[in-house]
Amino acid sequence: MSQTVGIIGLGLIGGSIALALRHSHNWNVVGFDASVDTTRMAAEQAILSEMMPDVRSLAEKSDVVVVAVPCSAIPEVALEAANSMKPGSILTDVGSAKHCIEQQILEGLPSQVSYIGGHPMAGRDTAGLEHASCDMFRGAVWALTLGNASEEKLETVCSLVRETGARPLIVNSSKHDEAVSFSSHLPYVVSAALAMSFEQASCELPLVQQLAATGLRDTTRLARSDLRVAPDYCAMNAVNLLSAIEVFEQHLCRLKNTLAANQPHEMAQSISGARQFLLHNFPAATADEKEAYATMVRGVRGATSIESNEPAQILEKTQELVREVMRRNAIMPDDIALLQFILTHDIDAVFPARAARELGLNTVPLIDTLSPDVQNAEPGIIRLVLLWNTNKRQREISHVYLGRAGRLRPDLVAGRDTGRSSL
């Protein structure tokens, strides 16, 4: 029998949890987000069984509530939900600073509700539901703190975590915060300081920007993170983070001194131990991991059919196809690089382009072409190829075939698209 998980906050992390559990037989997923735009996008993508109108109605319906909002807002939102949760239900969160959150929640938690702190060790430097991914947590560690929960409640949350593809790790909340100050929060601060230095140097010498390449891009990636999230978790873990910064400053000063003394050999020796540690304990990202962060041009295919060459029907069916392709793949108009329509010879080529313009795609390059003559080919078919900038992996892309066009790719019509077929 499936249980209901309610997700409060459908941004990058909350949205990715919903996507990861969307096809689960064990979890029915409901959600709530205070943003009207996010609510509309979640409905268009059909990532939830039900969109709830507020926190209270979500809490009343859920067996497990996941609070996926910025760290400083978690205690207030969590306790608001807890006051409406069923006896025996479980409250968890995804905040990256655990001890302070755990203390505040346990102080006000109703006795009939169990709390288990959570922190999935996964994310991106982008924000919002449009960047969420069903594979976000695959292979990642998901830290869990015990809170006031029994082993039975803990196993329930562990099973939910495993369904997302992550590996649960039970930790003490204080030790968690000490550890992530080095593994997560310090890297953000260092990346931000490097980005600030780069900006200052670029203003004084524009050539700096012209000569920047992959090294700078890689080391400043975290500085691109959502400013509503990263400074928030740094502040909530300030004591541990300040200690981590002091350790970093000591090593930076040591390297600075070897430079000032013109001692490249000593510099190499200082770095050698850390280099070997990284090579043996923290290897470079795999090709699959790099793909998860890369933004590149991807392509999606679609097709639909018309029964008559009437302008109104061509416009209607074309717009339906474009909307469905964009909805299923969370494509925003500004990210589209090219939209190509490929038409059978019995369709007036003027109208698909007009349909796209009427949808507001006024700045998107459009191409209309005719299908080559193929014996016994289906008539009245409008095909499209859409190229857009995205960090989705190829296997996450959903191709769309509607109406009679479904005969062209029956494997895609019933939602069995693997996304692996090439353009």
List pLDDT tens digits, range 197-227: 999 999 999 999 888 888 888 899 999 888 8
Q: Would you say 389 and 316 are in contact if contact means Cβ atoms under 8 Å apart?
A: no
Average pLDDT value for the chain: 88
Spatial distance between the Cα atoms of 408 and 386, rounded to a whole number of angstroms: 18
Q: Contact 33/90 with Cβ under 8 angstroms?
A: no
* pLDDT value, residue 330: 80
- CA 92, CA 113: separation in Å to the nearest integer? 10
Higher-pLDDT residue of 330, 419: 330
Region(s) of the chain under CATH 1.10.3660.10: 176-289
CATH classification code of 176-289: 1.10.3660.10
Query: What pLDDT does residue 109 have?
Result: 97
User: Strand pairing partners for 273?
Assistant: none
Encoding tokens for residue 200?
Answer: 């200052």
Domain range 3-171, its CATH number among 3.10.620.30, 1.10.490.20, 3.40.50.720, 3.50.50.60? 3.40.50.720
Beta strands 64-67 and 90-93 are parallel
Q: Which residue has the higher pLDDT, 244 or 282?
A: 244
Separation of alpha carbons 240 and 231, rounded Å: 14
**pLDDT at res. 423:** 27
Strands (E), 22-145: 27-32, 50-51, 64-67, 90-93, 114-120, 141-145
Q: What is the mean pLDDT of residues 29-56?
A: 92
Q: Which residue has the tokens 């905040």?
A: 95
Per-residue pLDDT averaged across 339-364, rounded? 83
Enumerate the β-bridge partners of residue 5. Answer: 29, 64
Distance CA 240, CA 179 (A): 9
Token pair of 249 as six digits: 């400053």
Mean pLDDT of 359-364: 84
Q: Which of 92, 192, 186 is nearest to 145 (CA)?
A: 92
Per-residue pLDDT at 126? 80
Phi, psi (rounded to 5 degrees) for 10: -115, 45
pLDDT per residue over 364-393, tens digit each? Answer: 888 777 766 544 567 889 999 999 887 777
Q: What is the pLDDT of residues 120-165, one digit of tens each?
A: 999 888 888 988 888 899 889 999 998 999 999 999 999 999 999 9
Q: Is the pLDDT at 172 greater than 60, yes or no?
A: yes
Whether residue 416 is predicted with pLDDT greater than 50 in this model: the reply is no
Angle at 191 between CA 187 and CA 197, to 5 degrees: 150
| pLDDT at 292 > cutoff 90 | no
Record the tokens describing residue 365, joined without a space.
């390059």
Average pLDDT of span 242-253: 97
More confident residue, 292 or 191: 191
**What single-letter DSSP state applies at residue 227?**
T
Q: Give the tens place of pLDDT for each residue, 310-337.
A: 888 999 999 999 999 988 888 888 788 8
- The boundaries of every CATH 3.40.50.720 domain in the chain are 3-171
User: Does residue 417 surpass a pLDDT of 50?
Assistant: no
Tokens standing for residue 146: 């015990």
Helices (H), 27-96: 36-45, 55-61, 74-82
Residue 297 has a pLDDT of: 77
Parts of the chain belonging to CATH 3.30.1330.40: 295-413
Domain 295-413 in CATH: superfamily? RutC-like (3.30.1330.40)
